[in-house]
């Protein structure tokens, strides 16, 4: 997914954000988010925070596919939060939105300004690799989670199977930039996406980073042949 919470400024393409995400993932992104929701298995009374929320797709996935009643979506981009709020207005007649408390706020993942130990679950989909100071962000997540609170991360990766990796790399590095030029008139956001995924996969030991930040890794799951990885951890 393309994310606004990054060294690359995607704010200018905010209006095309959802269309790009659904198109470039071939529509599978809905399934990935549903798997994230099911992985944390939230209860109705629990408080959930989705960081790097973009236009709020993870928030809406929780509201559609779980009994959660209180959820906050936070992003550093004002444009993205504005789109998330407009989407909520569009969904206002949906039954799954009835009697739900949804809060949107601008916040840096490394310094949210939220109260200590105020959330049962924190999620982040396709944003963690782009946070400039990931160590600070994980420390902040640890601070705002309750003891034994869950952290669930969805992030792009590269397939381990070379028979899958070669065509996926071709799609990622050659096809997607061309689609970007066609959809939004600019190849650079998609070129950046490919570079950031490659760097994340080869240079980052995220399981070790989680342990260093005070989390116990419960499981690490590859999705869609390794195109995406889900980490589920708890605060020690």
Boundaries of domain holding 119: 11-235
- Measure Cα distances from 175 to 8, 64, 168, 199 in Å: 20, 32, 10, 19
Instruction: Evaluate whether residue 149 is within a structural domain.
Output: yes
| Contact between 112 and 90 (Cβ < 8 Å) | no
* Residue pLDDT, tens place only, 104-131: 999 999 999 999 999 999 999 999 998 9
| Contact between 225 and 164 (Cβ < 8 Å) | yes
* Residue pLDDT, tens place only, 41-56: 999 999 999 999 999 9
Instruction: Evaluate whether residue 220 is within a structural domain.
Output: yes
Instruction: Evaluate whether residue 17 is within a structural domain.
Output: yes
Going edge to edge, which strands form the sheet with 101-106?
101-106, 70-75, 47-51, 119-125, 145-156, 228-235, 215-223
| Contact between 44 and 69 (Cβ < 8 Å) | yes
More confident residue, 16 or 130: 130
Instruction: Evaluate whether residue 172 is within a structural domain.
Output: yes
| Contact between 5 and 77 (Cβ < 8 Å) | yes
| Contact between 226 and 164 (Cβ < 8 Å) | yes
**134 - beta bridge partners?**
none
Query: Taking the CB of residue 195, how many other CB atoms lie within 10 A of it?
Result: 13
The band of 4, judged by pLDDT with boundaries at 50, 70 and 90, is very low
C-alpha 199/C-alpha 139 separation (Å) is: 22
pLDDT value of position 190: 80
The band of 17, judged by pLDDT with boundaries at 50, 70 and 90, is low
Query: Taking the CB of residue 53, how many other CB atoms lie within 10 A of it?
Result: 31
pLDDT value of position 181: 77
Looking only at the bridges linking them, the beta strands covering 145-156 and 228-235 are antiparallel
Whichever domain contains 115, its CATH number is 3.40.50.150
Instruction: Evaluate whether residue 4 is within a structural domain.
Output: no
Phi, psi of 71 (to 5 degrees): -145, 145
Instruction: Evaluate whether residue 36 is within a structural domain.
Output: yes
Instruction: Indicate the helix (H) or strand (E) that contains 233.
Output: strand 228-235
C-alpha 173/C-alpha 190 separation (Å) is: 8
Structure tokens at 153: 């991360």
Residue 76: pLDDT over 80: yes
* Residue pLDDT, tens place only, 190-210: 888 889 999 998 899 999 999
Our count of domains for the chain comes to 1
| Contact between 88 and 39 (Cβ < 8 Å) | no
Q: What percent of the chain has pLDDT over 70?
A: 90
Instruction: Evaluate whether residue 5 is within a structural domain.
Output: no
Query: Taking the CB of residue 82, how many other CB atoms lie within 10 A of it?
Result: 15
Instruction: Evaluate whether residue 2 is within a structural domain.
Output: no
* Residue pLDDT, tens place only, 95-107: 999 999 999 999 9
Cα 14 to chain centroid, rounded: 16
């Amino acid at each position: 997914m393309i994310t606004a919470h990054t060294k690359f400024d995607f704010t200018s393409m905010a209006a095309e954000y959802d269309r790009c995400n659904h198109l470039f993932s071939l529509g599978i992104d809905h399934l990935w988010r549903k798997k994230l929701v099911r992985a944390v298995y939230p209860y109705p009374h629990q408080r959930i925070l989705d960081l790097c929320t973009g236009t709020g797709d993870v928030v809406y996935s929780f509201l559609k596919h779980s009994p959660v009643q209180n959820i906050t979506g936070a992003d550093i981009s004002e444009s993205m939060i504005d789109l998330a709020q407009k989407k909520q207005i569009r969904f206002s007649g949906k039954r799954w939105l009835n009697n739900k408390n949804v809060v949107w706020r601008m916040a840096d993942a490394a310094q949210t300004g939220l109260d200590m130990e105020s959330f049962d679950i924190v999620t982040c989909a396709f944003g963690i690799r782009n946070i400039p100071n990931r160590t600070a962000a994980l420390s902040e997540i640890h601070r705002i989670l309750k003891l034994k609170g869950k952290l669930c991360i969805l992030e792009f990766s590269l397939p381990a199977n070379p028979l899958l990796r070669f065509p996926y790399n071709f799609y990622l590095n050659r096809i997607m930039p061309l689609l970007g030029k066609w959809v939004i008139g600019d190849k650079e956001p998609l070129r950046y996406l490919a570079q950031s995924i490659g760097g994340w996969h080869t240079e980052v030991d995220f399981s070790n980073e989680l342990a260093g930040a005070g989390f116990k890794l419960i499981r690490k799951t590859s999705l869609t042949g390794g195109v995406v990885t889900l980490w589920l951890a708890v605060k020690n």
